[in-house]
Amino acid sequence: MAKEEKKKTHEEAKPKAQGMIVRLAGRDINGDKRIFEAIGDIKGIGHTMAHALAIHMKKDLGMDYNERIGHLDEANMAKVEQAVKDATNSKIPSYLFNRRMEMQSGKNMHLVGTDLIVKVKQDIEGDIKLMSWRGIRHKTGQKVRGQNTRSTGRTGATIGVMKKAAKQVAAKAAEAKK
């Protein structure tokens, strides 16, 4: 009897708006997800930052972050959108931001979506223009962060690696043709 009751309550707990898609910070997000899970799907917001934003929304905005994002009304969606875009103005610690002490402004910022993509491209172009080590590596299409390149990161037509014995056999075959 208890199992049947649990099944009924579980079925009732399913979101009513299945398949709903919500637009948040320039991204289409599944409306069945809880608020903090949906925030984590946005580019520039990781798991920890999503939880920090969710706690901020619960304390300061009075929203339940376990609610489904597809069930929010327009006013609450606007609050979520504003909280995501203005993360630097909230009480979230600065070590969670993705742009700490930015070079041009000297401020702590947290960028999301296309703003982050554009800023990273500008940083790469600045490195290339300065002809720094990173810029040169970016320009030539090589690995930038000190990874090994002898055996990995090869692009283009794959020839393969030959062992010494195979090289000697290939050399003898080439001499025999001459």
pLDDT for 18 equals 54
Residue 160 in tokens: 């393969």
Residue 52 to residues 4, 85, 88, 117, 156, Cα–Cα distance (Å):
37, 14, 12, 22, 43
Strands (E), 26-162: 27-30
pLDDT tens-digit map of 48-61: 888 888 888 888 87
Q: Does the pLDDT value for residue 173 go beyond 60?
A: yes
pLDDT tens-digit map of 12-49: 554 444 558 888 887 888 888 888 888 888 888 888 88
Q: Quick check: pTM over 0.75? A: no
Query: 1-96 — its CATH code?
Result: 1.10.8.50
